[in-house]
Amino acid sequence: MDKIDLYLLQLENTRELSSLPPDYIFELEKELNQLILKIKSCSSFEEADHLLLQLEPFQEKLALMSFKYSLPMSEMLNTVIRLFDRADDLETRKYFLNFVKNNWVFPIKHSGKLEVE
């Protein structure tokens, strides 16, 4: 079980959390950014598609935390929630790949330091 699953389990059991801890947001963004950078390095949609499909469960869990539990998300996480809502749709995955290739410039912020991977 990965970190996002553990956090969802904690939310389901307590329902008392009003926000994600900053360290947890940082870890989610870091994990997401690593996958995005792999996608960005692909030379074709065919090469990237299996990686794009790996984003689907991640996006679904982020959306659940955002909408069901009303937890505020960072700009990066909200972008994935919004743009990758229909991962089952081929055109959505193509659009997201184009977005990643041309527009993905989110730096990861943590403890006042700026880290760009």
Domain assignment of residue 12, yes or no: no
Give how many domains the chain has, as a whole number.
1
Q: Give the range among 18-22, 34-38, 85-89 with minimum mean pLDDT.
A: 18-22
On whether residue 1 sits in a domain, the answer given is: no
Q: Specify if 109 maps to a domain.
A: no
> Do the beta carbons of residue 56 and residue 88 sit within 8 Å?
yes
Q: Is residue 11 part of a domain?
A: no
Using 50, 70 and 90 to split pLDDT, how confident is the model at 8?
confident
Mean pLDDT of the chain: 81
Q: Establish if 13 belongs to a structural domain.
A: no
Structural domain includes residue 69: yes
Residue 63 located in a structural domain: yes
Q: Please check whether residue 51 lies inside any domain of the structure.
A: yes
How large is the average pLDDT for residues 50-76?
Answer: 89
Model confidence at 27, pLDDT cuts 50, 70, 90, reads: confident
The mean pLDDT value for 53-81 works out to 88
The domain of 25 spans 21-101
pLDDT in tens, 68-103: 888 888 888 898 898 888 888 899 899 889 888 887
pLDDT at 74: 87
117: confidence class by pLDDT, cuts 50, 70, 90:
very low
